[in-house]
Chain A
Amino acid sequence: NAGVTQTPKFRVLKTGQSMTLLCAQDMNHEYMYWYRQDPGMGLRLIHYSVGEGTTAKGEVPDGYNVSRLKKQNFLLGLESAAPSQTSVYFCASGWDRDNSPLHFGNGTRLTVT
């Protein structure tokens, strides 16, 4: 039972490049989330999904897109990376809207130069 798996673990991009971060969960969770973590700012919600085929905006959605074509996968895309998107990205999943508990992956460290 792997839980929540994020790939890649590290990535360096040049400004303007694109990439996709993959999140996979094997717990049959309905809810999935993408957060970014920056020093002194905690975890901020980018986008989330309440089920297969659904997505919704979080607190800081600009510059990101997401897709949930399969229940177990939640993809985060950066179409044109900017230095402000340098961060550690965490995916999380949960059973239902009660948010208890959220299971997090180990993160993707992204640097945009």
Chain B
Amino acid sequence: GENVEQHPSTLSVQEGDSAVIKCTYSDSASNYFPWYKQELGKGPQLIIDIRSNVGEKKDQRIAVTLNKTAKHFSLHITETQPEDSAVYFCAASNLGNEKLTFGTGTRLTIIP
């Protein structure tokens, strides 16, 4: 089955700087890669996703890049703000497969 590794497990960034979280996956058939943000006491919420037919996707301060050859994808957050502090999860699946495999999470702390 799919295995997703996520790094780092914790990340502290000065407010206004950029944050990068990286994930690798094992199944070359995977073609859907979402990112979820989990705030304290809440369930994860989708913030951005990318499919294998594109290499990069942006949504305001958030971007995701995908390298299918190397089997890794990354989340980039620019101009970080205190409300970006949360746990972030990457995930991967093969479209047509009902199951998402999640990474182990990154706790991002924005230092004011």
Q: Which residues of A contact B (CB under 8 A)?
A: 4, 31, 35, 40-45, 48, 50, 56, 58-59, 90, 92, 97-102, 104-107
Chain B window 69-102, contacts with chain A (Cβ cutoff 8 Å), 1 for yes, 0 for no: 0000000000000000000010001011111111
- Known pairs A50-B98, A99-B34, A100-B34; A106 contacts B49 (CB<8 A): no
Tell me whether A98 and B105 are in contact (CB under 8 A): no
Q: Could you pull out 22 A-B pairs where Cβ atoms are within 8 angstroms?
A: A42-B6, A43-B44, A43-B102, A45-B99, A45-B100, A59-B1, A90-B44, A92-B43, A97-B97, A97-B98, A98-B95, A99-B32, A99-B34, A99-B99, A100-B46, A101-B34, A102-B36, A102-B44, A102-B46, A104-B45, A106-B43, A107-B41
Chain A residues with Cβ under 8 A from B32's Cβ? 98-100
Per the CB 8 Å criterion, the residue count for chain B at the interface is 26
